[in-house]
Amino acid sequence: MTGFVSFVSSGPGDPELLTLKAVARLQAADAVLFDDLSSGPILTHARDGADLVGVGKRAGRASPKQDHVSRLLVDYAATGARVVRLKSGDCGLFGRLEEEITALQAAGIAYEIIPGVTSASAAAAAAGIPLTRRLTARRVQFLTGADVTGGLPEGLNWQALADPQATTVVFMGKRTFGAMCAELVAHGLPESTPALLAESVGHPEQKITRTTIAGLVAILAEGPGTAPGLILYGPLAGDEA
C-alpha cells in the first residue's frame, strides 16, 4: 500500500495567508516535510503526533541535498502515510517542485499540488502597491537571481529584464544583484529605476526598503544579511503606500 503526497504552498510565512485546503491537508498529514520559511506558527496546524521533518535550504547554511529530500518523500509515502511537502510561497515557483514530482512518479506514488500566495504577491501587498498598471507596467516577470551554484544564472534575457515598462521580481537575488544591475544598466535600464527590497515578508520582522536599482546595489554591498529577501524593480516599485 502506498501513501499520498500533497505539495502544499504555505505562502510567505503569515499563517493567516494559508488556504483552507492547505490547512486541511496539514491537519490530516501523518508526516510534514517543511521548508525553513514554512516553519513556526504554520506548523501549529499539523495534527498531534505527525512527524515534522525540516528539509529547508538556505543560502550560506548547511542544507539537505535535493536527492535526500526526494528520497524522504518516497520512503514516507511507501509506508502508506499521508505526506505533506510544505513549501514556502507558491510551491510551483523556484521550489524544485519538478524534481520531487519526478521522484514520486518513478516510484508510482500519487500526489497533488495545492497553490498558494506567492512571496511576490505578498511583497507587493506589504508595500501597498499593485504588480501591474495600465500603460506603464503592462507585464510582470519573475526570475531567480541565483543558480544551483549560488551565482548569477547564465543565458538571461537581458533585453526583457531591462524593459522599463515591466515589473520585475527577483527571487534569491540579494547576493548577485550587483552583477545583475551592471547588466541591466548596460542594456539600457536607467540607474534611477525604482526598486524595493522586501525582507522577511509575512513575518513579524518584515522590512520594506524603497530605493533605486543603483541605490540597492550600494545597500547590498554593505552586506546582504541573512533575512530572506525579494527584489522588485520597475515603475511601480517607487510608489509609497
Phi and psi (nearest 5°) for 7? -85, 110
Same domain, 139 and 74: no
Q: Within this chain, do residues 146 and 226 fall inside the same structural domain, yes or no?
A: yes
Provide the CATH number for the domain around residue 155: 3.30.950.10
Domain count, the chain: 2
Look at residues 205, 198, 189, 191 and name the one whose alpha carbon lies nearest to residue 231: 198
**Pair (110, 128) in one structural domain:** no
- Statement to judge: residues 69 and 129 lie in one domain: no
What is the average pLDDT across 24-42? Answer: 93
- pLDDT, position 18: 95
Is residue 24 included in any domain, yes or no?
Answer: yes
Q: 84 pLDDT band (50/70/90 cuts)? A: very high
In this structure, what CATH number is given to the domain that contains residue 20? 3.40.1010.10
- Looking at the structure, do residues 58 and 105 belong to the same domain, yes or no? yes
Same domain (yes/no): 153, 178: yes
pLDDT at 1 over 70: no
Whether residue 238 lies inside any domain: the answer is: no
pLDDT at site 58: 57
Q: Which residues are tagged catalytic?
A: 35, 57
Confidence check: pLDDT of 48 > 70: yes
Query: Above 60 in pLDDT, residue 186?
Result: yes
Residue at a domain's end among 114, 137, 169: 114
Looking at the structure, tell me whether residues 195 and 178 fall in a common domain.
yes
At residue 60 the predicted structure's pLDDT band, cuts being 50, 70 and 90, is low
pLDDT confidence of residue 36: 86
pLDDT > 70: percent of the chain: 96
H runs (alpha helix) in the chain = 20-28, 66-78, 97-107, 119-127, 158-161, 177-186, 213-221
Q: Model confidence at 56, in pLDDT bands (50, 70, 90)? A: confident
Burial of 82 (0-12, 13-18, 19+ CB in 10 A): middle
Looking at the chain, the whole-number percentage of residues with pLDDT higher than 90 is 82
Last residue of a domain, one of 114, 138, 159: 114
Strands 139-144 vs 166-171: parallel, antiparallel or unpaired: parallel
Grid coordinates belonging to 178: 550587483
- Give the model's confidence band at 61: pLDDT under 50 very low, under 70 low, under 90 confident, else very high: low
Band (pLDDT 50/70/90 cuts) for residue 79 is: very high
What's the domain range around 24?
Answer: 4-114
CB 76 within 8 A of CB 33: yes
